[in-house]
Amino acid sequence: MSNLTLVKALNAGLRRALESDPKVLLAGLDIGKLGGVFRVTEGLQKDFGEHRVMDSPLAESGIIGTAIGMAMRGYRPVCEIQFDGFVYPGYDQIVTQLAKLHARSKGLLKVPLVIRIPYGGGIGAVEHHSESPEAYFSHTPGLKVVTPSNANDAYWMIQQAVASDDPVIFLEPKRRYHDKAEVDLDGEPMPLHRAKVVREGTDVTVLAYGPMVKTCLDAAAAAAEEGTSLEVIDLRTLSPLDMGTVISSVERTGRVVVVHEAHLNLGMGAELAARITEQCFYGLEAPVLRVAGYDMPYPPSRVEEEYLPDLDRILDAVDRSLAY
């Protein structure tokens, strides 16, 4: 076991992937000598060479398009998009090419490409640096969308994503980059597309992922002091959703609050609310409630804490659910 930040865990996971398979390549803006703006790839170019850890031009569409070609030729490229808001120039390549090539070729072509995207707010950044684009990719058939919330999951999930024959959008919660956790470097990882109960409870099921998992755990601790037991589930994968774990919890609690940073309208919470209502209708004691970012462009950093879901907003939703 090692006590690592999420950044260091990702670095260790990428290092292990590079060591395990000579077909693994890394590409992105400033990921080589600089080690990436968040230093996730620090030291990897020095150890594996410029032919495997490549600094790319400032052109997201070109980075992704080139990586798609590499994947079609048998490589396993891992692209870094420097910030969430910079992925949109490459969105065309992702949804019209990457997501569809396997189906278009009737299964003949595999495109094992991972696109790493630091996402979410809470770091005091400027415009275009605090987006939450997960719903766009989760809505697109042909893409897997995963997001670790802690260092141990980050270490294992990046390796599992690289080993997958499917294209994976790998969302990294940048506000949690420096959170430390115990990482089992030689353990047995959970399946990549499995949700995890990170705190057991009996009164309300709280669903979260990525940066909001820690916030929900803090809310659960505060609720416990007032006698309310929250069960917190880290979804880990947004496409495909592990509804089995979710439904098992909801059938016991009868109440659900979904929490995410992204805008409320047509966000992941809407899909989860619809599926839970369809599959657990007679077991629900209250409507599925959502706590999310407001339906507005991400605000200036000086007021972002008013925009982001926090402990008070989560506990308010829990109180409303219990009041039904």
CATH number assigned to the domain comprising residue 73: 3.40.50.970
Catalytic residue among 51, 128, 129, 260: 129
Question: Do the beta carbons of residue 164 and residue 193 sit within 8 Å?
Answer: no
Same domain? For 143 and 264 the reply is no
pLDDT in tens, 2-21: 999 999 999 999 999 999 99
Model pLDDT, residue 193: 96
Report, as an integer, the average pLDDT of 75-94.
97
* pLDDT single digits (tens) 101-146: 999 999 999 999 999 999 999 999 999 999 999 999 999 999 999 9
Model confidence at 214, in pLDDT bands (50, 70, 90)?
A: very high
- Within this chain, do residues 13 and 61 fall inside the same structural domain, yes or no? yes
The CATH number of residue 212's host domain is: 3.40.50.920
**Total number of domains in the chain:** 2
Does 226 reside within a domain?
yes
Residue 232: what are its φ and ψ, rounded to 5°? -105, 125
pLDDT one-digit tens code per residue, 240-267: 999 999 999 999 999 999 999 999 999 9
Please give the residue range of the domain that contains residue 107: 2-183
What is the average pLDDT across 64-69?
Answer: 97
Q: Give percent above pLDDT 70 in the chain.
A: 100
Together in a domain, 123 and 233: no
**What pTM was estimated for this model as a whole?**
0.96
73 and 177 part of one domain: yes
Q: How confident is the model at residue 165 (pLDDT cuts 50, 70, 90)?
A: very high
**Contact indicator for 228, 323 with CB cutoff of 8 Å:** no
Q: What are the tens digits of pLDDT across the range 281-315?
A: 999 999 999 999 999 999 999 999 999 999 999 99
Average pLDDT of the residues in 191-201: 97
pLDDT for the residue numbered 1 = 80
Partners of residue 114 on adjacent β-strands:
78, 168
Asked if 128 is an active-site residue, the reply is no
Average pLDDT, the chain: 97
35 and 157 both lie in a single domain? yes
Q: Which amino acid is at 291?
A: V
For residues 32 and 40, what is the distance between their CA atoms, to the nearest angstrom? 10
Position 287 scores a pLDDT of 98
For the beta carbon of residue 283, count every other beta carbon within 10 angstroms.
14
